[in-house]
Amino acid sequence: DAKTTQPNSMESNEEEPVHLPCNHSTISGTDYIHWYRQLPSQGPEYVIHGLTSNVNNRMASLAIAEDRKSSTLILHRATLRDAAVYYCILRDSGGGSNYKLTFGKGTLLTVNP
């Protein structure tokens, strides 16, 4: 799996937007960009994913650069419950039956009240 680079930590205030960056300069044409998060003492949780176009769901938005070498996860209004480690992961959609997730260290997001 191609490698991603994320800041170790970020801090935000409650009810403010948060932009979590991810660099993936070696991304291939068949790689999807996935974001998962892990709340304290819980299993990872799917947030959002995309290929080329920006994506929105009830949890977040994903902005993908035109050259696909970077992306940004956007939490529109951070809440205390959003404090977690956020992982940016590339997954090859080229075929096969495995589709394992390769986790990095992620970004630890702290949300201040």
Partner 1 sequence: EPEVTQTPSHQVTQMGQEVILRCVPISNHLYFYWYRQILGQKVEFLVSFYNNEISEKSEIFDDQFSVERPDGSNFTLKIRSTKLEDSAMYFCAVSGDTQETQYFGPGTRLLVL
In terms of CB distance, is 11 or 45 closer to partner 1? 45
The Cα 83–Cα 27 span in angstroms is 28
Tell me the two tokens of residue 29.
């044409």
The Cα 57–Cα 66 span in angstroms is 20
Interface characters, 37-76, with partner 1 (x: CB under 8 A): -x---xxxxx--x---------------------------
Smallest distance from partner 1 to CB 58, Å: 14
In terms of CB distance, is 43 or 113 closer to partner 1? 43
Tell me the two tokens of residue 35.
């974001």
Looking at 32, 80, 112, 113, which residue binds partner 1 (CB under 8 A)?
32
Interface characters, 75-104, with partner 1 (x: CB under 8 A): ------------x--------xxxxxxxxx
In terms of CB distance, is 21 or 104 closer to partner 1? 104
Closest CA to 3 of 36, 31, 37, 39: 31
- One-letter amino acid for residue 12 of the chain: S
**What is residue 89's three-state secondary structure?**
strand
Closest CA to 33 of 58, 69, 7, 79: 69
* Binding footprint of partner 1 on the chain (CB under 8 A): 32, 38, 42-46, 49, 87, 96-105
